[in-house]
Structure 1
Amino acid sequence: MSGETVLIAAFSGRSLAQSARRAGFEPLVADAFGDLDTRQAAGDFRVLDGAMPTGFRTKPLIAALEDLSRSAQSKPVGLVLGSGLEDKPRLVAALASRFNLLGSGDATYKACKDPHSFFARLDRLGIPHPQTQTAPPADPTGWISKRIGGSGGRHIRVCHGPQAAKPRRYFQKLIDGDRISAGGVFTPHGNTVSLTRQWISPSAEHPFRFGGCVSTPELEDGLRGTIINAVDTIAGDLKLRGMASFDFIVSENGAANLLEINARPGASLDVLDDSKGRMFAGHIAAWIGAGLPLMEEKTKCAKTMAILHADRGQVTLGDIPWPDWSADRASPGTFIPQGAPVATALAEAPTADAAEALVRKRLAELEDLIYGHAKS
């Protein structure tokens, strides 16, 4: 490693860039925000304006990555993808044809996101999941619809009244319960898997919007083992390599229902990585054939992250004295539409419950700080 350059492409490349830097790489980042802390972690960066509302487009993203490669002090070891490409397998294929893709290819993305093949695979493997179909339900009560390849929960809609079939959406029976995610690094020689508890931050327009997650949730050993066994089973069947995350919902009867897989680093990277960036180092090792680095011994502290959304209204950021525990810090003058993500709060505490309580307190403080320094 020792300063080797690596390309990163994601809607927000901040957490990946910071993990890469901790692992000893020099990250070269193309993302949609260009936040202050992303720029601090990156050796170089390119901002793709307009990518967040419209999605990445092939030519601008490839041009940005090629420009970063040309400007690099040494040839990048490869390209690592984050969020923003789950519904664009053709773009993933185009990137793989031009760069050394250190991550899942378009076939794996399709296998994870196509509702026909994915839930049929779960049935074959005996892994529970919510009732799912592409045809509209006869009675929409208790159903939701999801966009194929969507992430972050903003694409999920509650079904009200008669539904029409749409080529890019599918329908799923809503299950109430605890949201548990499994994140880790996967290789043919073994996996490292850790669990987090997630929660939503609902708004009127986006009732299932992702809110945050916390590490070391208190779970019964049997449930923990069931989830990890399911993860190992499906990861082996899909031949997953590198970082990936699995989202479950644990129903009242204790069944762990698998909702989706993201075959790339997830939002839990902030709470699962260690001070040496071993999640990122493990991801690289999984693709170049090296052994997995050992994670640091787990501490008694739980780590958590939570996203602040602009629910008070649209805001233009002023010159904010960002707290040390904040992340995804946008530059002064950045315009944030109502409901869009503004920044991230981080926290640690002795237990998962205490860490979640602290990060929620910090979210309120961060909201007051941002709106108090807003430009008129």
Structure 2
Amino acid sequence: MGQSVLIAAFSGRALAQSARRAGFEPLVVDAFGDLDTRQAAADFRVVDGAMQRGFNTKSVVAALEALATAARVYPIGLILGSGFEDKPRLVVSLAKRFRLLGCSPETIAASKDPATFFATLDKLNVPHPETRLTPPDHPVDAWLTKRTGGSGGRHIRVFRAGVASRRRRYFQKQLAGERLSIGGLFAPGGAEFAPTRQWISPSTQNPFRFGGAVSMPEIDASLYRRLAEAASQVGTALGLVGMASFDFIVANGQPHLLEVNSRPGASLDVLDDAHGRLFAGHIAACLGTPMPAAVRSNRPARAMAVLHADRGPLTLGDIPWPDWSADRGTPGTFVPRGAPLATAFADAPTADEAQRLAAVRLAELEDLIYGHSKS
């Protein structure tokens, strides 16, 4: 039996599975409690309504304390996933009750505060799209409006001229280009990086919704160095610890940094290995213990693609889930239109092949789920 560790996220599935691979006992608080999470977790609690209303201090603390009290061995700390970047007071409150295994509340807040973050990029001469805290006057180019602390692309909207400034939103010039991300693991002795390619799955209501990611994209060596150098500079300046990810858009050969996720992100699904090295490395970085050694492998590229309930709302039935699927909801779960429904994985020799296979499986998974559910 390994050490137990608390995990809190909108979806704790990827972190729980990585923790298991690394030999830890994950204790999970999330918004879904899907079949995969229940299988990976030593224990879990579901915060009802968190995806619709966000996490709140009372329910999250109660769930975490219940898990910690019931654990076989008291957990070594708490890892935060998605769902906390826009709630700095909640992060501070959690840090007072549990040992945070990850970035400090101050670092999380700085990485998601547009005034602080983009000023840091300017100081480091790291390119980024033009960004404002107030709506642009008479814009000629296309602009976006984003929610401070938002993640997953659901918070992004196309800016319409004449729209008044809103609290906790900022404005960024839209760039066209390739979406690349750098997954980082920051430790006292240095940092290591791995790239992924990402794409969106647009809908009418959410035109920039996250669609998926794939490992091992073919990237020019010079471009990769620039991405990694920018990530290293920014991560050091912000004081990142453990896993983090950096989202770029490459326009006309120039990478522009869009945001930093100062926590484990979606790329964990495609970058982690069979031994949970990223999770083990995250724990080591946070505790100041030796990092696990990197193991060379000839594993193929891996893609993950998110399926959304775009055919309409449904109640999940008893579905014969394929082995390559994840985030599998329990029978009787109601899924609103457009909400995340499941995930498809695919391995292939190249990133392009893996992404194509994931798309095929996504369509197959959609037919399967809707065919075994009630609309």
Instruction: Name the TM-score class by shorter chain.
Output: over 0.9
Q: Which residue of 2 aligns with 1:169?
A: 169
Kept after mapping to 2: 8 A contact 1:188/1:239 = no
Q: Which residue of 1 aligns with 2:329?
A: 330
Q: Which residue of 2 aligns with 1:21?
A: 20
2:336 maps to amino acid = P
How big is each residue's C-alpha offset from its partner over 1:330-358, in whole Å with a ceiling of 9 and x where there is no partner?
A: 00010100000000001100000000000
Task: Give me the whole-angstrom Cα distance separating, in 2, the residues matched to 1:282 and 1:162.
Answer: 48
How big is each residue's C-alpha offset from its partner over 1:160-188, in whole Å with a ceiling of 9 and x where there is no partner?
A: 23121112100000000000001121012
**Shift in Å at residue 236 of structure 1?**
1.1
1:316 aligns with 2:315: yes
Q: Which residue of 1 aligns with 2:146?
A: 146
The secondary structure found in structure 1 opposite 2:294 is: coil
Q: Which residue of 2 aligns with 1:267?
A: 266
Task: Give me the whole-angstrom Cα distance separating, in 2, the residues matched to 1:354 and 1:369.
Answer: 23
**Shift in Å at residue 300 of structure 1?**
4.9
Range moving further from structure 2, 181-190 or 347-356 = 181-190
Q: Which residue of 1 aligns with 2:237?
A: 237
1:268 maps to amino acid = S
List 4+ stretches of structure 1 deviating above 2 A.
Answer: none
Task: Give me the whole-angstrom Cα distance separating, in 1, the residues matched to 2:118 and 2:298.
Answer: 36
Residue correspondence of structure 1 range 1-376 to structure 2 within 5 A: 2-140=1-139, 141-251=141-251, 253-375=252-374
1:172 maps to amino acid = Q
Structure 1, unaligned runs of 5 or more:
none
The secondary structure found in structure 2 opposite 1:256 is: strand
1:129 maps to amino acid = H
The secondary structure found in structure 1 opposite 2:183 is: strand
The secondary structure found in structure 1 opposite 2:196 is: strand
The secondary structure found in structure 2 opposite 1:281 is: helix
Kept after mapping to 1: 8 A contact 2:35/2:328 = yes
**Shift in Å at residue 294 of structure 1?**
2.0
1:115 maps to amino acid = P
Task: Give me the whole-angstrom Cα distance separating, in 2, the residues matched to 1:300 and 1:102.
Answer: 29
2:78 maps to amino acid = L
**Shift in Å at residue 191 of structure 1?**
1.1
**Shift in Å at residue 117 of structure 1?**
1.0
Range moving further from structure 2, 180-189 or 360-369 = 180-189
CA-based RMSD of the aligned residues comes to 0.9
Task: Give me the whole-angstrom Cα distance separating, in 1, the residues matched to 2:294 and 2:354.
Answer: 21
- TM-score between both structures, scaled by the size of structure 1: 0.98
1:119 maps to amino acid = F
Task: Give me the whole-angstrom Cα distance separating, in 2, the residues matched to 1:297 and 1:334.
Answer: 41
The secondary structure found in structure 2 opposite 1:333 is: coil
Kept after mapping to 1: 8 A contact 2:214/2:302 = yes
The secondary structure found in structure 2 opposite 1:260 is: strand
Q: How many residues align?
A: 374
Identity %: 63
**Shift in Å at residue 157 of structure 1?**
0.4
Structure 2, unaligned runs of 5 or more:
none
2:372 maps to amino acid = H
1:54 maps to amino acid = R
The secondary structure found in structure 1 opposite 2:184 is: strand
Kept after mapping to 1: 8 A contact 2:188/2:288 = no
Range moving further from structure 2, 256-265 or 132-141 = 132-141
How big is each residue's C-alpha offset from its partner over 1:110-140, in whole Å with a ceiling of 9 and x where there is no partner?
A: 1101111110110110100000001111124
